[in-house]
Copies of this chain bind each other. A is one copy, B any other.
């Protein structure tokens, strides 16, 4: 085998004539040695071709510097963007990320988490929905969730309720005759249910005609397309001649909806207004820039890792203080007014 035997503390001690304790101090508390002795050991490391063995360090102090990320899939721009931002915190916090894509397979996900625990990861960021927060809390490691049921675990989320209020408020301010919200099936325990509640509250407060259309849009493109085409046909028939304000739960689907409208009518019809959610790149790259409730992805990713690092650091203390209640951080959304609602800017 081409690999050489690893250089050990023993080898370094023998080579430098220092004790093993001194070598250990060089690695763990270098300032306790004179600069001269530091230089002698440092030279020896180069000569011996010493490579730090982090696995041995993990065994010694239990620190792996690994965080697991469980994400449902990378199809929605929102997920790939937030993963990109979380991974980019390596420069700030130094943690490395083991990433798992769940694809709704609960048993595989459980198996994966079991393995991660065996590898002594320090913490977990969970975006998938398959395992309850109660089961996750029982794992007894630091966990932060994003946009999923989070009763028993810490979380960082967009203020979804405010997002729903902003979207409905924007459509209402343009004097729409009817407000429509299109979303996937969403349990009331999920943070994203706030989008539906915020929408409903504004409509009821302002006595606006409205409808919430719940469709399973998480499947493949063909079925998503078919369902959105059906919605457009229904809306064209049921609300002919009326100004329709459409609030769609993410920009990926808002873009598909807009394109299907175009394909059917050859233009963006005068009686439609559209607001998406997320401020994904596609909302700006669309045929007409799409108004959207922007999630501050950078901030969410940073706050999630930051909170997790705090929890992990507490855990490393000699007498860690357990949290009395899970921490739920809320990040405000930012409304982006673009051409799918601001007609005067078009033409």
Contacts and interface: CB of A to CB of B under 8 A. Distances in A.
A84 B75 contact: yes
Interface string A94-108: 001111110101001
B1 A54 contact: no
A15 interface: no
Contact of A118 (B2, B51, B97, B266): B51
A286 interface: yes
Nearest to A57: B118
A53 B201 CA distance: 51
Interface stretch (A152-160, A184-192, A255-263): A255-263
Interface string A73-117: 111000011011001101100001111110101001000100111
Nearest to A117: B51
A53 B120 CA distance: 8
Interface of A: 1-3, 51-56, 58-59, 64-66, 73-75, 80-81, 83-84, 87-88, 90-91, 96-101, 103, 105, 108, 112, 115-120, 140, 221, 252, 255-256, 259, 262-263, 266-267, 281-282, 284-288, 318-320, 322
Q: Which 9 A-B pairs have the closest CB atoms?
A: A80-B80, A74-B84, A54-B118, A87-B101, A74-B80, A99-B99, A259-B287, A287-B287, A54-B119
Given A84-B101, A90-B108, 11 more contacts: A53-B120, A54-B119, A74-B74, A74-B80, A74-B84, A90-B100, A91-B105, A96-B100, A96-B115, A97-B98, A263-B288
